[in-house]
Amino acid sequence: MSGSKFLLDTNFIIGLLKGNEQVVKYLKEESISISECAYSFISRIELLSYSRITNSEIVEITTLLDAMQYLPMTPAIENTTITIRRRYALKLPDAIIAAMALGEKLELLTLDRQLANRMKEIIRRI
C-alpha cells in the first residue's frame, strides 16, 4: 500500500464531489489528504455507470479518482467478501468494500451509517 490510510466508499466520494459539509469538515478536522485515500473498483463502476452522467461529471469524477489509489479485486479480497456475505448478509458492493478495507488495513470512510455499524461488528469478529 503506497501511503493510503483510508478507503472511501461511493457515498463518501459522492459527498466529497458535491461538497457535502459533513464530508468536507471531517476531512479538514482530521487533516486527511486525498492522496492518503483509496477507492475500490466497485466505487469506480458505481460512480461512472450512471446512465445520465455528463461529460463534465465524468471529468470531475476521474480527476478526483486520479488523486487517490485504485484498489482492484484480488483473490484474497474475493475470499474475504464471500466470508463477509455469508456471515453478515451485506449487499455485494458493501461486502466488497468491507473486505477491501479489512484486507488492505484501511479505515473505511462512509456516509452509510448502517455499513459503518456493520463494519464495527465485522472488525470485532474477523
* CB contact at 8 A, 90 and 118: yes
Strand partners, 69: 38
Dist. CA 109–CA 101, nearest whole Å: 9
* CB contact at 8 A, 37 and 65: no
The architecture (CATH level 2) of 6-125 comes to 3-Layer(aba) Sandwich (3.40)
Residue 109 dihedral angles phi and psi, to the nearest 5°: -110, 120
What average pLDDT is seen over the chain? 92
Listed by start position, the domains of the chain span 6-125
The helix (run of H) or strand (run of E) holding residue 52 is none
pTM for the whole structure: 0.89
Residue 121 has pLDDT above 60, yes or no: yes
User: CA of 126: how far to CAs of 51, 95, 105, in Å?
Assistant: 37, 13, 12
For residue range 60-105, list pLDDT tens digits in order: 999 999 999 999 999 999 999 999 999 988 899 999 999 999 999 9
